[in-house]
A and B are shown apart, each in its own frame.
Chain A
Amino acid sequence: MDWMAWTWPTAAFFATIAVLLVTFTVLAIRYPETPRTGILRIETTRGDRLFITLLGSAFINLAWLGLIDAPQPWAMGVCLLYAAAVFRWV
């Protein structure tokens, strides 16, 4: 695994995503997903909303890094708010 140049932060990053994926898979098996239509007027399942959350969070972090002169961890706070909004309204 040396050639992959692992670091603890990146390992934690991928572990979080892996845990999220496994959790949502288990959830989908336990409580089958029913698609619904939210404010984007597209049908989304729980998995779709997770994808929208993760992709959006990546852009929020980049925007924070490029535009706002504040510590990066605060961006994660915005991401959590964004995630809550996505799961509630999208």
Chain B
Amino acid sequence: MDKTTNQKAWFLVLPVLVLVAFSAVIPLMTVVNYSVQDTFGNNVFFWAGLEWFEQALSSDRLWAAFGRQIMFSAIILTIQIPLGIFVALNMPKKGFWASFCLVVMALPLLIPFNVVGTIWQIFGRVDIGLLGHTLDAMGIDYNYTNDVLDAWITVIVMDVWHWTSLVALLAYAGLQSIPEAYYQAAKIDQASRWKVFRYIELPKMQGVLLIAILLRFMDSFMIYTEPFVVTGGGPGNATTFLSIDLVKMAIGQFDLGPAAAFSIMYFLVILLVSWVFYTVMTNLDKREGF
């Protein structure tokens, strides 16, 4: 029997489309309009053509921020993904402690971003913060406000503390979905712990891990609040990531045109990476028939 296809259900999506139009599409169009003009306020605009794009592409400041951003995301992913998997592998599978671990792991995820920033801002202070004071008492010269390396370490440890649980929870969900029979078969074959991980657990976690990588990449690539609260982008420009620089440009200096051109390029990079991840994910799903 032929299945009739009816696409009318798509009309049910209309309310969402209207909402998205107001919250995303129209503001984005406005940004595109800004990016080719200059303004001195009062809603008066002058045509500037592609000048802002040219300026942004040859701006050392933006490329430096871009480099820092890539480095930050790369470090975050290299730490959080393996650490999250490691934590998930060592979490209890059932019983009271399984639920207990899940709740404890979920706690950092529930804290608002600016509060996370404030917690670490105080935690790292040498005069009143537990971490800063302890390190100081141990004779370690730690000060995130004037040492570049210390600032980077603080921001990265903070992000690891905040977001590793997400990777761990996703990996844990992936692990829980593996039927017991796989492990029994591995036992019969006398597979080592490493081989069980490499040939059973890792392939079965592939889907969720890709989602974890995508989420962590996008979040870390767009990070703003936490480093802004902790270091304010400093010392100097050492932890000024793309969005911090963007806000400085748009709201601090009120350079709407350059900031708009810059955010379009920022958006394009994120769109490209998301598309690549999405395509890889859906193709993996099709191949494996999940």
Asked if A and B bind, the verdict is yes
Instruction: Report B-chain residues with C-beta under 8 Å of the C-beta of A59.
Output: 268, 272
- A contacts, CB < 8 Å to B: 2-7, 9-10, 13-14, 29, 42-43, 51, 55, 58-59, 62, 65-66, 72
Q: How does the 8 Å CB contact mask read for B62-96 relative to A, with 1 for contact and 0 for none?
A: 00000000000000000000000000000000000
Q: Is B153 an interface residue (CB 8 A)?
A: no
Q: Are B271 and A65 in contact (CB under 8 A)?
A: no
Q: Are B268 and A5 in contact (CB under 8 A)?
A: no
Q: Are B53 and A65 in contact (CB under 8 A)?
A: yes
* Of the residues B7, B34, B54, B272, contact of A55 by C-beta under 8 Å: B272
Instruction: Report A-chain residues with C-beta under 8 Å of the C-beta of B7.
Output: 29
Q: Are B279 and A5 in contact (CB under 8 A)?
A: no
Instruction: Report A-chain residues with C-beta under 8 Å of the C-beta of B30.
Output: 3-5
Q: Are A10 and B283 in contact (CB under 8 A)?
A: no
Say which size band chain B's interface belongs to.
20 to 34
Q: Are A7 and B37 in contact (CB under 8 A)?
A: yes
Q: Are B275 and A14 in contact (CB under 8 A)?
A: no
- In the bound assembly, the distance between CA atoms of A62 and B35 in angstroms comes to 13
Q: Are B275 and A43 in contact (CB under 8 A)?
A: no
- B contacts, CB < 8 Å to A: 7, 26, 29-30, 32-34, 36-37, 39, 43, 45, 47, 50, 53-54, 57-58, 265, 268, 271-272, 275, 279, 283, 286
- In the bound assembly, the distance between CA atoms of A66 and B204 in angstroms comes to 43
Query: How many Cβ-Cβ contacts under 8 Å join chain A to chain B?
Result: 53
* Of the residues B26, B43, B286, contact of A2 by C-beta under 8 Å: B43
Contact residues of A: prevailing secondary structure: helix
* Of the residues A5, A7, A58, A66, contact of B58 by C-beta under 8 Å: A66
* Of the residues A5, A14, A42, A66, contact of B57 by C-beta under 8 Å: A66
Q: Are B283 and A6 in contact (CB under 8 A)?
A: no
Q: Are B37 and A4 in contact (CB under 8 A)?
A: no
Which of B29, B58, B272 has the most chain A CB within a 10 Å cutoff?
A: B29
Q: Are B279 and A55 in contact (CB under 8 A)?
A: no
Q: Are A43 and B50 in contact (CB under 8 A)?
A: no
Given contacts A6-B33, A7-B33, A59-B272, 14 further A-B contacts (CB under 8 A): A2-B43, A3-B43, A4-B33, A5-B30, A5-B39, A5-B43, A7-B37, A7-B45, A9-B36, A10-B33, A42-B279, A55-B271, A58-B268, A62-B53
